[in-house]
Amino acid sequence: MAQNLADRRVVITGLGVVTPLGHDIDSFWKNILAGQCGLDKISLFDASAYDCQIAAEVKNLDPAPAFPSAKEVRRADRFTQFGVYAGRQALLDSGLDLAKVNRDETGVIIGSGIGGLHTVEEQHKVLLGKGPGRVSPFMIPMLIMNMASGLFSMFYKLRGPNLATCSACATSNHAIGEAWRTIKMGDATIMFAGGTEATIVPLGIAGFCAMKAMSTRNDEPKRASRPFDRDRDGFIMGEGAGVIVLEELGHAKARGARIYCEVVGYGNTADASHMTAPAPQGEGAARCMAMALRSARVAPEEISYINAHGTSTPQGDLCETQAIKTVFGDHARRLAVSSTKGATGHMLGAAGAVEMALCAKAIQENIVPPTINYENPDPDCDLNYVPNAACEMAVQAAVNNSFGFGGHNASLVARKFAG
């Protein structure tokens, strides 16, 4: 009897990251578990006049190995360079031989929350200083946020479903969720999915500072991002990319792939409440997690670990804690809940995919990454946030949360692969 499309199983077989703590999954995972911090004073420009002078920058990355030529590198914005490089890392990690796959059934969804802000800023200076005739003919292709997804498919001749999600900080969780759904529905066999972001430019930092969204703990860069801590005062901007290889189970098994875990559920809801603030008591986030658990056919008590959105903002961390309590009830006290943004900063549209890679490693290795800089408990945020040190524990199933401006919510559920 033919397989019901909805019963197709989807596994993670490759992980690619570009982060302030490593440009491949092994070094990144090692540094996260060690409690390392990628935050420091901004070096990409003079930030001395800004309310927030800290960021988590990607340093010493040579994108050239992921591009066909130096010319193609120059024609790619920084966010695209990150996304294409992370995609290549995911490909290498997966062990896929593209010469042996059906490229019509291999797709790409790499999104971005903001896109080519470096190009916008640079070309606007050219326009004002030299006039419209000097604006680069590559300005538009460089700044549009679908270009990481487009170029990666071009470089590797991947002709399956291809698009780019854009839902602020929920972008790459949505990308992974939609890629999962694409495979489940039989429209692809393999999907590269994730997100990329590079907004540490004067305009980007100024805009977020104007919103009063960022920490001003400028004298203590390494301690500035402190999710769920009583003294949190805003997030710190990060940059980078994460790309996950999702694969239909039968295909993965036939080629003898290493399987990190199985993706089993996806939630996607709207707060419909406020442009930037979460819905009261995290109501939209709670519905999102509940939807993800329903689609996974997983009971709340089966979840071991939540990689929280946990941005280090006063209201956001509180509302996520409330949402977890709403969905998990008494089991919330038994969960490990950590945010890795104290180490990486908030990578906006890349955050979900980078954190999904951490969930996959946590499930594979039965180690939960810590929430660093957790020093002073908040009586209203009273769960187990895995403070300051990684925790060895059985991780049977995990939830990955991402919530974005505009009221976008995306949650993913993954579990140990069995049979």
Cα four-point dihedral sign 322, 386, 193, 396: negative
Catalytic, 251? Answer no
**CA 143/CA 371 separation, integer angstroms:** 34
Structure tokens at 210: 């104007």
**How far, in Å, CA of 131 to CA of 76, rounded?**
22
Candidates 174, 251, 309, 408; catalytic one: 309
What gap in Å lies between CA 260 and CA 237, rounded to an integer? 29
CB-neighbour burial class of residue 63 (10 A; exposed 0-12, middle 13-18, buried 19+):
buried
Catalytic member of 169, 288, 359, 381? 169
* Cβ-count burial 255-265 (b if 16+ within 10 Å, e if not): eebebbbbbbb
Q: Phi and psi of 362, rounded to 5°?
A: -60, -40
Buried b (16+ CB within 10 A) or exposed e, 303-340: bbbbbbbbbbbeebbbbbbbbbbbbbeeebeebbbbbb
Which tokens is 287 given? 């519905």
Residue with tokens 């995290």: 282
Q: E strands, 271-393, where?
A: 305-307, 336-338, 367-368, 391-392
In the annotation, is 309 catalytic?
yes
Q: How far apart are CA 283 and CA 291, in angstroms?
A: 12
The answer to whether 79 and 237 have CB atoms below 8 angstroms apart is no
Give the type of residue at 229: D
- Asked whether the beta carbons of 411 and 173 are under 8 A apart, the reply is yes
Nearest CA to 218 among 386, 397, 416, 48?
A: 48
Given 346, 359, 381, 391, which residue is catalytic?
Answer: 346
- Identify whether 346 is a catalytic site residue: yes
Any idea which residues carry the catalytic annotation?
Answer: 169, 309, 346
